[in-house]
Every structure is written in C-alpha cells, then in structure tokens.
Structure 1
Amino acid sequence: MSTVAAPAAARLRPRASASLILIDRSGASHRILVGRRGSAHVFMPDLYVVPGGRRDPRDHALPFAQDLHPLVLDRLKQNGRRPLSEASARALALAAARELCEETGLHLSTMPDMAPDLSCLRYIARAVTPPGASRRFDNRFFAAFTDEAGIEAQHPTESAELSDLHWLSLDALEAVKMPEIVLAVLDDLKKSLESNRSLPFGSDVWVYTNRNGMFLRHRL
C-alpha cells in the first residue's frame, strides 16, 4: 500500500522568533510602532507588523546591560514539555532587541553603542504559525514602554525590512492592514493596559495556536 507524502509546507517546523511592541504612553492614548513589510516578502507581504524576526544562533552570545525581570525570564522558560534553558529564553529577548535595531534603528538603551537593557521588557504573548503556511514561526511577543527603554518615539528609521514606520494608536488599529494574529495580540495588550496602565511584569501571557483548523487562545 503506497502513501502520499504530506506537502512540504505542512511539514515545516516552526522556527523560534521574537517581536517587540514599543509603547509610547506620552499622550492621551497608547501608541505602538508599526511598519509595512515589502511586497517581495514571502511571509506576510504588504502587511503592517511590529519589529521582529527569527532568533539567530548568535543571539545567545549577544551582550546585555541588564537582565530580564525574574518573572519574565521564568515564564519564557516555560515551553510545554521541554522547558527552555535560561540562555535560550534570554536569546529570544536579545533577538527582539536586535531586530528592533536592525529594522528601525532604535536601541533598548540610552546610548546607541551600549548593550540592550532587557529589564524593561514584558513577555505578553506566544503565537505559533498554523501548519500549511509558507513560513512557520514560534514567536514570542515582548512589550516595552519607550520612556523606560530610553527611546525617543519620534526617531525610527526605515529599513529594507520595514517601511512607512509610524506610531499607531491602539484605538485605531483598523487604520492599517495587519495580520490577524498581530491584531489578536494587540487587542489583548490593549485590554491589559486598560486593566493596569503599568503593564506589570507578571501580567497574563496569552498563547495562540491552531489545531485542526481551529484557532485556540489560552493563558500560559
């Protein structure tokens, strides 16, 4: 009896990645930094996203000025049946900081030449791309307030990865076209901020997965 191999896209294993949601709370409403992916991208072309990308092997060795909050590090290590090592968990945060710099020119530090300060990062969500997609990622979403990170909100720089960088109110997400998963994460972030504007380090972490074509959402 012959068997038919599953399509290559269906066999793709999710690759570890990280995104960073920068929050500007200087005005009446919270704003986040978004940018548009190019038309040539295979994954999510022409959609607006927050800075982020794949974790690289070198991220484990990147320096940092201050470590993650203990609650954040502890939750990042939670990875189902196979907990992450402290170094692997921290590498996700370092990947988010590196991608922020590469895609927007912004640094998680008061000086461009300093190592990133991870102590301001909150861990808010994990999302796994459903089977069948052209690219699959196991993505952790971090959030940070610009004033805590030493970032001036008015000075992002466009890159080959993200164009039309601008600050978007969490009350006006419909103004641009975003992936559904990013909208889901931002909607939960908005609710968390409405509950507590300081976004405590121990706030809920939401996990978004897909099973048999059904979208699933639960707390870590």
Structure 2
Amino acid sequence: MRVSPAATPHAPVGRPRDAATLILIDRSLGSNRVLLGRRAAMHTFMPDLYVFPGGRRDAGDHRRPFASDLHPLVTQKLLAANRRPMTAGSARALALAAIRELTEETGLQLGSELSPADNRVPEAAELSTLRYVARAITPPGSPRRYDTRFFLTFTDEAGVDPSHIQDSQELLDLQWLDIGDISCLNMPDITKMVLRDVADQMKADPSFGFGLAVPFYFLRRGQFVRHML
C-alpha cells in the first residue's frame, strides 16, 4: 500500500477494501529483527517490493476459531475513527486475517510452539499478544485500494520459532532483518513509515504497550495526513 500524494489524475475512486498485516519481531538474538518478504512479480499491487505478511480480509475470517481474544485496548483502538460502523467481531476478523495471511505466506502460526498442556484448540489463532500499531488507506489512483490495519507481536510472546519461515507463491526471499538497518531494501513508502514509527516507539517502550496511540495515514484533498488515533 504505497502512500504518495501523486495519485493518477481523474482515476476512479474505489472504496478501499479492509486488509490487515502483521509485523513480527524477533528479539531472541539481542536485537530487534523484523520479518519481511518480497512480493512476487506477478502481483498487480506492489510487485517485487518487500513488505510485511498480510492481505485483504476475507468473509470467512469472521468464522475462524481463536484460542485467545484481542486485548480490550486493541479492540477499542480498532473501533475508533471508522466511517462505517464496526463491531468487535469485525475488528477481531481483521486480526484473524493478519494471522491467516502470516501462515499462508510464511508457514508460521502464532502459538505453534506452545505446550500441548495449554489445551489450546487445534489451529485456533492466538490474538492476545497482538498490538495495533498503524492504519493506512491506499490513495485514489492505485490499481488496488486497501484500508489496512497493522498489527505487531513478538516471536517469544506469540510462541513462534523464527527458523520455521518458508517462502510461498506470494512472498519470496523471506528474511529476518535488523529493524534499524533495512534501508537497502526496495519497500513501499508506507512500510518505511510504519517501521520508522515502530522503531522509535520501541526505543521509548521496548515492551510496546497495548494502548499506545496509533498513527493513521491517508490522503485528504491531495495532502498526505498522519493522524493519531
């Protein structure tokens, strides 16, 4: 989702589709490493760019099972500043979409390293460690438009083994990269902005609390806006 004021003049303005993405941070080696992958060249939207795992919310995401729910502060933030009414179930479906996309694109599943003694529902998503860290709407003129919510969690909290990543047809060259040293990658502007915000916040609060202010990026009358939710 490239955020730029240079939208194509007179392009049709489509309603953005709900989408979600997951920023996964590995801090097991003493530094903060983020998981990024390169979108396949066949994609119409952002081909060959490095992004976080993610994609649009599907109708079936509302019905996906979950073993633990979102933190109440995360749900509260997700329900804020929506033009169309959103229920707690719809907010949860965004998080479930992010986790589904993570599994489809990288092979990782939150909670996969938890002990069987936890009596978790098989393949049920773990939502309790997810933070809500950003929102962005693709500007008019893009071949695809999305209203994307960015979630974040840590591999150690979410029961994820960082070594289990595997490329997919959608994301290639998956890598764990130092969050402060990724300038060499070809990334969408919005990915760079969100990563910069996340890196700055982690310097102030390494645990990344659940109720922090959420930057919302969008275009208003041709001007780029960064609004805090």
Whether TM exceeds 0.5 here: the answer is: yes
CA offsets 1:43-102 (integer angstroms, 9 cap, x no match): 001000000000000000000000000000111111334341011000000000000000
After superposing the two structures, state which structure 1 stretch, 9-18 or 145-154, moved more: 9-18
Q: What secondary structure, in the 3-state scheme, does the structure 2 residue paired with 1:174 have?
A: coil
Structure 2: runs of 5 or more not aligned: 1-7, 115-121
Q: What secondary structure, in the 3-state scheme, does the structure 1 residue paired with 2:12 have?
A: helix
After superposing the two structures, state which structure 1 stretch, 125-134 or 167-176, moved more: 167-176
Equivalent residues in 2 for 1:28-107, closer than 5 Å: 28-107=30-109
Do structure 1's residue 176 and structure 2's residue 178 form an aligned pair?
no
Q: What secondary structure, in the 3-state scheme, does the structure 2 residue paired with 1:154 have?
A: helix
Do structure 1's residue 148 and structure 2's residue 157 form an aligned pair?
yes
Do structure 1's residue 167 and structure 2's residue 176 form an aligned pair?
yes
Runs of 4+ aligned structure 1 residues displaced above 4 Å come to 6-9
Do structure 1's residue 10 and structure 2's residue 12 form an aligned pair?
yes
Between Structure 1 and Structure 2, how many residues are aligned? 215
| 1:194 equivalent among 191, 195, 203 | 203
Q: Partners in 2 of 1:21 and 1:129 — Cα distance?
A: 18
CA RMSD of aligned residues (A): 1.7
CA deviation after TM superposition for structure 1 residue 194, in Å: 0.5
Q: What secondary structure, in the 3-state scheme, does the structure 2 residue paired with 1:65 have?
A: strand
What TM-score results when the alignment is normalised by the length of structure 1?
0.93
What TM-score results when the alignment is normalised by the length of structure 2?
0.90
Question: Would the aligned equivalents of 1:48 and 1:178 in 2 still touch at CA under 8 Å?
Answer: yes
Q: Partners in 2 of 1:13 and 1:209 — Cα distance?
A: 13
CA deviation after TM superposition for structure 1 residue 11, in Å: 2.1
| 1:23 equivalent among 12, 22, 25 | 25
- Identity, in percent, stands at 54
Do structure 1's residue 109 and structure 2's residue 111 form an aligned pair?
yes
CA deviation after TM superposition for structure 1 residue 126, in Å: 0.4
CA offsets 1:8-42 (integer angstroms, 9 cap, x no match): 85221100000000001122321100000011111
Question: Would the aligned equivalents of 2:108 and 2:160 in 1 still touch at CA under 8 Å?
Answer: yes
